[in-house]
Amino acid sequence: NFFSQLPSSKAGDKRPRTRQSQSLGVLTFPPRSLLLRKGAAVLLPGERALIPGAMGGLSFVVRGTRSAQGGGGPLAEAALWSCSHGAGRLLSRGAAARSLTVDNLAAVTSHQGVECLSDRSVLDESPEAYKDVRAVVRCQAQAGTLVPEVAMRAILCIKGTERDKAAHK
């Protein structure tokens, strides 16, 4: 049974969690295979996870669906009960650092009502470097692999080095 081979989770735990890029050990399908999720998280039926969006954007609490026999989408089982662990990048870290500006980062986050460090050290985390998490979650929901439960908007972002944080106190 597939579920007996997965890391145990506490029954009835309603707190969202996101475990990303982890090995689930040797599975029986195909025999002696290793499932490694890189860039994805485990989302078992009924379990909740957090799919964070870009700095200042929305984040979602989602719930895993049952297999096709249990009322969920047929892809939940085919996807080995995986979900994205974030919005996903539009720009690589290097491309973001080269093409985005500190002034634009400050304008975008200020317009969203978010307080954050706006300097070159965080350009790679600019909202413009990421996909729209709403579209990412909607795609997975339409495929039947998860159900969005709550959308939350960030009000504070903490990112940067200790030196950067000390300089802004």
Annotated catalytic residue, options 53, 76, 85, 157: 85
User: Quick check: is 168 catalytic?
Assistant: no
Q: Are 42 and 19 in contact (CB under 8 A)?
A: yes
> Which residues are paired to 42 by β-bridges?
82
Name residue 103's amino acid: D
Q: Are 72 and 154 in contact (CB under 8 A)?
A: no
Size of the chain, expressed as the number of residues it contains: 169
Rg (the chain; Cα; Å): 18
Q: From CA 132, how far away is CA 9, in angstroms rounded?
A: 30
SS3 category, 90: coil
Q: From CA 48, how far away is CA 71, in angstroms rounded?
A: 17
**Which positions ≥6 away from 151 have C-beta within 8 Å?**
58, 59, 60, 134
Q: From CA 79, how far away is CA 167, in angstroms rounded?
A: 45
Instruction: State the catalytic residues.
Output: 85
